[in-house]
């Protein structure tokens, strides 16, 4: 077993609190892609990686990648990749993503302090973007590292009309948004031994089981849409109810359809997280309404069937109400299985510490979904406090659980075999 300082868990919580001070909003944590808060977070992570004895690079999309170099006696070492994202949702929690960066930095720092090297390079990737907050498309960071970035996304605009291409050009990042530079930032899949992501569970399962850590079996796929409903604006006082084409009323019916359909299977979930009447007024019939849809399930065929039904239902509602629909579909992500060989090694590390092995699926999406396209992946979940709440400022973990996760992760690294 690897002996670590008992203070590592608390140090991770302290660092998460420190990072949370860099925010786009005043009383809460929002770290959207390529904002000043994002840049400050990136710089702080790079500094902590350097202090942990890593060689650090910042790539063309803004990922910070630190390498804890292999034992020099090992000829042509390969790479074990770990990491997670440092962007957040609006008014989010301080551990979602960041725990999976801070924890490996802490463990690498402990190895460095004791002069220990591993027989492989340990790369810690702090992914610049995963949540999709600013450009309504997720996995920008991990898709670049995986060599799966779609250059068409460069034309996507944020709420202020700034394209991703422009934001990158203004960012000072290497390559300035050049598609070739983004392509060249990919890691060589042949060099990889696998990808392991530590993440807060973001749900209540481990909390209810009374367990600090869990091993993820698979990550639920998702289908996301932006729906634009176009009706007819008009006077709220003079237009009889039967002569209206109210875009918001039509959207409301669509939202309830999503809810109803997604109640039909246990792992199926559907969410309308943004619903908006552009330029609306209290005394004007809504002429337009926009909303997002996020649909997920533990099985792709369940999700595909629900999506098909929902899209058909939306069409039916639109026709009946005389409104028009325009759909913007984000590329769906398939259900992602974790690799048994890596899960078993995580389980062995848990047993070494006398911890029960609990396997559970992830309903939340993770960078591991993108890395799975080029290598085997696994995930270690850390218990979420406060009833399991996440994507919320109440998201929390304990120092004790963070410490255990460090110890399990350190043993996993020490015993790791390809």
Q: Residue positions in the annotated binding site for allantoate?
A: 224, 283, 296
Please enumerate, by residue number, every residue annotated as part of a binding site.
85, 96, 131, 199, 224, 283, 296, 391
Where does 53-137 show beta strands of DSSP type E? Answer: 55-58, 64-68, 79-85, 121-127
62 binds, among ligand HGY, Mn ion, none (CB under 5 to 8 A by kind): none
Residues 137-156, mask of contacts with ligand HGY (x by CB under 6 A) = -x------------------
Near ligand HGY by CB under 6 A: residue from 87, 131, 201, 395 = 131
Among 277, 323, 365, 413, binds ligand HGY (CB under 6 A): 365
CB 292 within 8 A of CB 187: no
- Are the beta carbons of 266 and 285 closer than 8 angstroms? no
Q: Give, in degrees to the nearest 5, the angle at Cα 368 between 105 and 138.
A: 105
411 binds, among Mn ion, ligand HGY, none (CB under 5 to 8 A by kind): none
> Of the listed pieces 40-48, 93-101, 104-112, 255-263, which binds Mn ion according to CB under 5 A?
93-101
- d(Cα 369, Cα 359) in Å, to the nearest integer? 18
What is the phi/psi pair of residue 212, to 5°? Answer: -75, -30
Size, binding site for Mn ion by CB under 5 A: 2
User: Which two structure tokens, joined as six digits, stand for 149?
Assistant: 């970035």
Binding-site residue ranges for Zn(2+): 85, 96, 131, 199, 391
Query: Judged by CB under 6 A, does residue 130 bind ligand HGY?
Result: yes
User: Is the CB of 151 or the CB of 363 nearer to ligand HGY?
Assistant: 363
Contacting residues for 407 by C-beta, under 8 A, at least 6 apart: 1, 2, 4, 353
Choose one: 91-99, 109-117, 165-173, 325-333; the region binding Mn ion (CB under 5 A): 91-99
Least spacing, CB of residue 183 vs Mn ion, in Å: 25
Q: Which residues of 106-119 are buried (b: 16+ CB within 10 A; e: fewer)?
A: bbbbbbeeeeebbe
Q: How many CB atoms lie under 10 A from the CB of residue 334? A: 15
Residue 399 contact partner, candidates ligand HGY, Mn ion, none, CB within 5 to 8 A by sort of partner: none
Binding residues vs Mn ion (CB under 5 A):
96-97
Binding residues vs ligand HGY (CB under 6 A):
130-131, 138, 364-365
């Amino acid at each position: 077993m690897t002996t670590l300082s008992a203070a590592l868990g608390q140090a991770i919580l302290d660092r998460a609190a420190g990072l949370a001070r860099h925010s786009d909003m005043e009383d809460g944590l929002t770290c959207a892609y390529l904002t000043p808060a994002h840049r400050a977070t990136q710089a702080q992570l790079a500094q902590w990686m350097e202090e942990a004895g890593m060689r650090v690079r910042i790539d063309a999309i803004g990922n910070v990648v630190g390498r804890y170099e292999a034992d020099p006696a090992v000829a042509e070492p390969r790479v074990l990749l770990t990491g997670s994202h440092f962007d957040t949702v609006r008014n989010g929690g301080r551990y979602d993503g960041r725990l999976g960066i801070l924890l490996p930095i802490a463990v690498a720092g402990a190895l460095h302090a004791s002069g220990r090297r591993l027989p492989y390079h340990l790369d810690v990737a702090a992914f610049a973007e995963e949540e999709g907050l600013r450009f309504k498309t997720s996995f920008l960071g991990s898709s670049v590292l995986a060599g799966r970035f779609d250059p068409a996304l460069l034309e996507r605009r944020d709420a202020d009309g700034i394209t991703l291409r422009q934001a990158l050009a203004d960012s000072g990042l290497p390559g300035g948004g050049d598609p070739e530079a983004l392509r060249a930032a990919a890691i060589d899949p042949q060099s990889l031994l696998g990808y392991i992501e530590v993440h807060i569970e973001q749900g209540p399962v481990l909390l209810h089981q009374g367990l600090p850590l869990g091993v993820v079996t698979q990550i639920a796929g998702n289908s996301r849409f932006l729906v634009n409903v176009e009706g007819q604006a008009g006077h709220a006082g003079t237009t009889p109810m039967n002569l209206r084409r109210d875009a918001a009323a039509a959207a409301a019916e669509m939202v309830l359809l999503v809810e109803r359909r997604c109640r039909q299977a246990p792992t199926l979930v559907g969410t309308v997280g943004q619903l908006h009447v552009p330029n609306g007024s209290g005394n004007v019939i809504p002429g337009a309404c926009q909303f997002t849809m996020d649909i997920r399930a533990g099985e792709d065929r369940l999700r595909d069937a629900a999506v098909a039904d929902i899209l058909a239902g939306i069409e039916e509602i639109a026709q009946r109400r005389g409104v028009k629909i325009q759909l913007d579909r984000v590329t769906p992500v398939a259900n992602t299985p974790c690799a048994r060989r890596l899960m078993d090694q995580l389980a062995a590390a848990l047993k070494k510490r006398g911890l029960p092995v609990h396997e559970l699926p992830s309903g939340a999406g993770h960078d591991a979904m993108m890395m799975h396209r080029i290598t085997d992946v696994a995930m270690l979940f850390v218990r979420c406090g406060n009833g399991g709440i996440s994507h919320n400022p109440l998201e929390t973990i304990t120092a004790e659980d963070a410490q255990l996760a460090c110890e399990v992760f350190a043993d996993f690294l020490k015993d790791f075999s390809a």
